[in-house]
Chains A and B, each alone.
Chain A
Amino acid sequence: MRVKPKITSITPGRGLIGNQTSVTIDGRGFGSNPSVVIGGTGVTYSGSGGSATQLTGNLNVAGNATAGNHTVEVSNKGQKSKSVNFFVQVPSEFIPLNLATANLGCAPNTAGFGAQVSYQVADQSGQAITVIGMTPQEHFTVNGIPAFPGFRAFATPPTTGANGSFLDIPIGTCAGPPPPSFNFCVDVVQTFNIVVGSTTFPIPTVTTRRDCTQGMRVVVTTGTVSRTSSLGTVN
């Protein structure tokens, strides 16, 4: 008697575009030589082993794969399971985690206020992308004037950690010499993208800073919401 394959779960249920995700497919009736079929474009499965109730393998998600849900089915001897979804994550937001003071390390006879901001990379549904090795890049202007051409990797270290977060440290503007006798401020606007493998994804998050010698205000507009935090004194 043939048992129709059934998938009870795929773990993890989501994976990053342009990346390979190790997955476990649990269920029953997979038989001895099942095939795994992925719907949509840009996602393929390569199996590394399994049993009648569990398959392990990799989902290889191309850099141009369709974002969002892809169906996953297991077929065995002509019988096909109902599908479950695997969600392809596209980096879409930098969500600020916290703002803290930091030593800016201004040159002697200058003044400045330093801070650090940590961010989490999130996907198009606002969920964290917990992947190591993504490279966030920034471009910024100071009072409307570009500080440098193009984008530069700016996190320390330059790539995301295992939890998909990164730290921008230190941030701020030094003024002088001589150090201003008042709370001097400039406006900094940071725009972002992120590199995954060889693909660069634009990130609509914008961080608007007011860098003062005695404090800093940071407004992060993630793409969906805006959050403001301040440290010290800001004019």
Chain B
Amino acid sequence: MNRNLAHTTAAYRKVLSQLCVVACSVIVVLAGGQNNKPAIPVRERVAKILRERLSDGAGVVDGVRVQTRTPPAPEVRKEIRDCGNAAIPLLTNYLLSENENERVIAVELLGLLGGSRVVAPLKNVVEKDRSPTLRIVALRWLSQTPSSLASPIIRKAARTDVDENVRKAARDILEPSIGEGASGSSAPFKVVPPPF
């Protein structure tokens, strides 16, 4: 009899304990639902950042729509970093866009993400993008990634890129030197002949 009672009590305790776990879980979920906004998928966040960057600096002057190239706001820098690794394949897709403006922004956002994770897509830009400027920008962002990964790419660009300005940009990254004009206010403001 005592044995049966002990058995029953243990069973009750087990059921109560399980009920408590379920109840606590419900409370945690409800509390979490109240405190946290529903997570926005990274795809939408990246698309929103890109849309905003594409319209940043836009206005109307004398009836003409204009857009002056504008650096990213601190909020954009934070938002793209918050997106983390999941943003990389999405941004990599934008690198294939026919719209150069989108590719410029995608390279910038990859650069802001930084780290070894962005080396492969930036390498792709350096080796394949048709815009010399975009290749220079990608090289400069690459200079911020781990040098063991970036150096071979930059060295190759310094040797083989078809555009002299890109080769020079790569050389400057590999061997930084103080440029003309650095040692005093009488130095020239050099104009590089248009390469394109």
Contact = CB atoms under 8 A, between A and B. Distances in A.
Interface size class of B (residues with CB under 8 A): 35 or more
Interface size class of A (residues with CB under 8 A): 35 or more
Contacts of A165: 176, 178-179, 182
A104 interface: yes
Contacts of A93: 185
Contact of B131 (A103, A156, A227): A103
B195 A120 contact: no
Contacts of A118: 179
A101 B195 contact: yes
B165 interface: yes
A145 interface: yes
Given A143-B61, A228-B189, A127 B68 contact: no
Interface string A144-156: 0101100011101
A106 interface: yes
B182 A169 contact: no
Contacts of A100: 165, 191-192, 194-195
A44 B77 CA distance: 35
B178 A170 contact: no
B21 interface: no
B19 interface: no
B191 A174 contact: no
B143 interface: yes
A175 B133 contact: no
Given A138-B71, A156-B137, A186-B61, A175 B191 contact: no
A194 interface: no
B181 interface: yes
Contact of B65 (A98, A177, A230): A177
Given A174-B66, A232-B194, A142 B71 contact: no
A81 interface: no
B101 to A, nearest CB: 5
Interface of B: 54, 56-57, 59, 61, 64-74, 77, 98-101, 103-104, 108, 111, 131-134, 136-137, 140-141, 143-144, 165, 173, 176-192, 194-196
5 contacts: A142-B59, A174-B67, A180-B64, A211-B68, A229-B191
Interface of A: 93, 95-108, 110, 114, 116, 118, 120, 122, 126-128, 130, 138, 140, 142-143, 145, 147-148, 152-154, 156-157, 161-165, 167, 169-177, 180, 184, 186, 188, 211, 220, 222, 224-225, 227-232
